[in-house]
């Protein structure tokens, strides 16, 4: 998909106030800043592209509940991601994440977080403050903190680990 095609779809989605947009499997290497116009969007699928970063305008998607960034080339998430306060599901497996921004603790409605198959060596202590989080997938990361054997047991085991060592 060319950037012009992508802009055309975004323009149509903005005019028609789409709530769901699937741009997966399009070999996108970047996302135009115009994505921020889609303030009614509840679900955005950007999986299986070649994204290396996200535009800061992504935080304008104030209604977004599901964001799928699976199978891209992201080495980080924008620090502004914490402004997506309606987000319930964040899928980021099969990327190259090396850390999570501390702003992730602002995602108080987040229920599912998939970070599998990245390069994370540690999880931020703040992750235990995500009280709505019930599913945390973290397998196949070189985790040191908490140890992988703790992380593989799920979010409750991670909470217990961090509370124990606080």
Q: What is the CATH number of domain 3-164?
A: 3.80.10.10
Distance CA 18, CA 119 (A): 34
Distance CA 110, CA 53 (A): 21
CB atoms under 10 Å from CB of 34, counted, come to 15
> Tokens 């054997």 correspond to what residue?
149
- The per-residue pLDDT for 8 is 95
Token pair in block for residue 20: 């769901």
Token pair in block for residue 151: 């992380």
Instruction: For 69-99, write each residue's pLDDT tens digit.
Output: 999 999 999 989 999 999 999 999 999 999 9
Rg (CA), the chain: 16
Binned at pLDDT 50, 70 and 90, residue 65 comes out as very high
Answer yes or no: is pLDDT of 166 > 70: no
Distance CA 52, CA 76 (A): 8
Answer yes or no: is pLDDT of 158 > 70: yes
CB atoms under 10 Å from CB of 65, counted, come to 19
Which of left, alpha, beta for 154 (phi over 0: left; psi -120 to 50: alpha)? left
pTM listed for this prediction: 0.93
- The per-residue pLDDT for 58 is 94
């Amino acid at each position: 998909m060319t950037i012009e095609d992508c802009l055309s779809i975004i323009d149509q989605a903005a005019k028609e106030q789409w709530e769901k947009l699937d741009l997966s499997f399009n070999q996108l290497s970047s996302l135009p800043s115009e994505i921020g116009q889609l303030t009614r969007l509840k679900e955005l699928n950007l999986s299986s592209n070649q994204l290396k970063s996200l535009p800061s305008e992504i935080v304008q998607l104030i209604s977004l509940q599901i964001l799928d960034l699976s199978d891209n080339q992201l080495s980080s998430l924008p620090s502004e991601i914490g402004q997506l306060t309606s987000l319930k599901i964040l899928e980021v497996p099969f990327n190259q994440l090396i850390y999570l921004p501390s702003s992730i603790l602002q995602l108080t409605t987040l229920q599912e977080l998939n970070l599998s198959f990245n390069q994370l060596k540690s999880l931020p202590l703040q992750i235990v403050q995500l009280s709505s989080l019930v599913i945390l997938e973290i397998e196949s990361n070189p985790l040191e903190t908490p140890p992988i054997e703790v992380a593989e047991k799920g979010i409750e085991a991670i909470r217990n680990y961090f509370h124990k060592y606080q």
